[in-house]
Chains A and B, each alone.
Chain A
Amino acid sequence: MQHADWGTIYPYLVWALTAIIGLGIVLASVGKRLHIRRLPAIDAIEEAVGRATEMGRPMMFVPGLAGVDVPTFQAIAIAGHVARLAARYRSRIILPVTDTVILTMAEQVLREAYAEGGAPDAFNPEDIRFLSGDQFAFASGVVGLMNRERVAANFFFGSFAAESLILAETGQALGAIQIAGTPSTLQIPFFIAACDFTVIGEEYYAVTAYLTREPILLGSVWGQDVCRILLASLIFATTVAQKFLPPIVLKFLGI
């Protein structure tokens, strides 16, 4: 069984970073005003929902290939916000999933989002569809749905693999407005090439904070930014100083 090695810097670093993010949340909850920079891709979500409504065609939200993990949870949270916007216009969202655990979670989140958006009757449970647990069977299922339903907007948020380009290029060929966000670094270039807007890297985890502007979520994003500055400084400092540091310190730093 694996456990943390407290003889290295890593466990201390993870707890320190967690504490900084927690501090950001606390600061925000006591009323500190925090700013988050503009993310054009997220601003475009409302435009995409509006365009789909005008065209009278549905939207598709693909929450990636992974099962229960942090990127998928984040994707479902974003789907909830998109559904709240869609409910305002009584638009339809189709959400295909590849994992049955996500199916139940997504159905619950979207049902409540439509209810909060003031259109509980516009929610159709059949639009949350389990297609397949197999990567390419899922991809062909999504492509088929896109073509048959003539979707006007596509949202790709979550962990993706080789199927990312198959999905995004099909949407591009259909003329759908496409917004993507993924922490899967290898798929980012494909989404940039085939989608209208793409959020990359850490922006992916800031989407819900950006959309809701809730102070507590903004606080966590502020904490993450402080963590990144500290990590970058640590990398720079240890790179410069490694020639002068004693072996025991280098071992602790994992160099």
Chain B
Amino acid sequence: MFAPLQNPTINFILVAVALIISVVILIALNSSPPYVRRWVIAGVTFLVGLYVPLEFYIPRHNFLTVWRDPLSDLVRVLAGFTIGLGIVNLVIVHGRHVLQRTANLPFSLAFFVGFISMAFVGFLHRYKPELWAQKPSEGELAFWSAAYKVFFEGLLLPLTSTVFSLLAFFIVSAAYRAFRIRTLEAGLLMAAAIIVMLANVPVGTWLTSWLPQEGWLKWLRLENASLWLTTQINAPTMRGILFGAAVGGLGAALRILLSLERSFAFGGQG
């Protein structure tokens, strides 16, 4: 609907006008009484919340469809502004630890070192990968691109994988607590877990491999018992919970759309 403008001057003027309008709206909202703010927010929530289902449920390409891309662009722009707020939040919290030299000083220094160096290397990798460095030979990465690779693939990804791998130990400790047989339910849980776990390792299927593959005795083979547990007990239960949650989500969406949730009545109860 809105094709990008090629003229930089008009672009600049439009951005400036948009910024001025945004500031005026912000000032107007801040200086208005709470009940006005509440009604403005409720009205915008209702209109935007109504747009999405209406656009979807009116068959085929309709008069609302043309607004879909501009609206999602607008949401992206708004989200982009909040990233700045996120960075400000981090800098304020960690800056205070650095300035006041609290016990958390090392963590905050680590944040600043990581944040500034990653941003610096990332920008140079994107815009000036050969700055202050020799021109790379054929097939080699430019200096700052190589540095970015070290930071991203050599540091960030291994750190992320390390945190993920901690999950293995946490699963063991949680399973230990869950499987302590103190009630009938815990006993059933333990029995089901043993069957499913054994059926997923070769030695488990070997244990009951002597049982016939046909007839009612086949259900005692661990792989069949495990399949029955996962497809006939676990999957329907999960779907049942999902069904309930989906209907609950519909109700919650309606409450938010109509601004019935008290917590979202920003600007006071006026």
A residues in contact (CB < 8 Å) with B: 1-4, 6, 11, 14-15, 17-18, 21-22, 25, 67, 70-71, 73-74, 76-81, 100-101, 103-104, 108-109, 112-113, 116, 126, 128-130, 134-137, 139-140, 144, 148, 162, 165-166, 168-169, 183, 185, 188-190, 192-194, 200-206, 208, 212, 214, 216-217, 220-221, 223-224, 227-228, 231
CB–CB B160/A134 < 8 A: yes
Asked if B112 lies at the interface with its beta carbon under 8 angstroms from chain A, I say no
| A239-B68 Cα distance, complex, nearest whole Å | 38
Asked if B255 lies at the interface with its beta carbon under 8 angstroms from chain A, I say yes
CB–CB B56/A205 < 8 A: no
- Pick the residue among A6, A162, A205, A221 that contacts B167 (CB under 8 A): A162
Asked if B35 lies at the interface with its beta carbon under 8 angstroms from chain A, I say no
| A175-B198 Cα distance, complex, nearest whole Å | 33
CB–CB B58/A205 < 8 A: no
Asked if B166 lies at the interface with its beta carbon under 8 angstroms from chain A, I say yes
- Pick the residue among B62, B86, B250 that contacts A14 (CB under 8 A): B250
CB–CB B56/A101 < 8 A: no
Asked if B93 lies at the interface with its beta carbon under 8 angstroms from chain A, I say yes
- 1/0 per residue, CB under 8 A from A, across B209-241: the answer is 000000000000000000000000000001011
CB–CB B57/A100 < 8 A: no
CB–CB A223/B241 < 8 A: no
| A137-B155 Cα distance, complex, nearest whole Å | 12
Q: Which residue of B lies closest to A186 (CB)?
A: B238
Q: Which residue of B lies closest to A83 (CB)?
A: B263
- Pick the residue among B58, B244, B263 that contacts A3 (CB under 8 A): B58
Extra inter-chain contacts (13) besides given A76-B263, A79-B263, CB under 8 Å: A1-B65, A1-B68, A22-B254, A25-B260, A73-B252, A77-B261, A80-B262, A100-B85, A101-B79, A126-B96, A202-B244, A203-B248, A224-B251
CB–CB B164/A136 < 8 A: yes
Q: Which residue of B lies closest to A220 (CB)?
A: B251
Asked if B142 lies at the interface with its beta carbon under 8 angstroms from chain A, I say no
Q: Which residue of A lies closest to B78 (CB)?
A: A101
| A101-B91 Cα distance, complex, nearest whole Å | 17
CB–CB A204/B170 < 8 A: no
Asked if B104 lies at the interface with its beta carbon under 8 angstroms from chain A, I say yes
Most buried by B among A21, A144, A204, A214: A21
Asked if B51 lies at the interface with its beta carbon under 8 angstroms from chain A, I say no
B59 / chain A contacts, CB cutoff of 8 Å: 3-4, 6
A77 / chain B contacts, CB cutoff of 8 Å: 261-264
Binding site of A, secondary structure by majority: helix, strand, loop or mixed? helix
B27 to chain A, nearest CB (A): 17
| A140-B79 Cα distance, complex, nearest whole Å | 24
B231 to chain A, nearest CB (A): 16
CB–CB A192/B251 < 8 A: no
- 1/0 per residue, CB under 8 A from A, across B82-105: the answer is 110110011011001000000110
| A194-B172 Cα distance, complex, nearest whole Å | 11
CB–CB B173/A169 < 8 A: yes
| 30 A–B pairs (Cβ distance < 8 Å), ordered by A | A1-B68, A3-B60, A11-B57, A18-B250, A18-B254, A22-B254, A67-B79, A101-B79, A101-B82, A104-B85, A126-B96, A128-B89, A134-B156, A140-B163, A169-B173, A183-B245, A183-B248, A194-B177, A200-B241, A201-B242, A201-B245, A201-B248, A205-B245, A208-B262, A220-B251, A220-B254, A220-B260, A223-B251, A224-B251, A231-B243
- Pick the residue among A128, A134, A136, A165 that contacts B174 (CB under 8 A): A165
Asked if B178 lies at the interface with its beta carbon under 8 angstroms from chain A, I say yes
A192 / chain B contacts, CB cutoff of 8 Å: 178
- Pick the residue among A126, A165, A188, A228 that contacts B171 (CB under 8 A): A165
| A67-B255 Cα distance, complex, nearest whole Å | 19
- 1/0 per residue, CB under 8 A from A, across B121-148: the answer is 0000000000000000000000000000
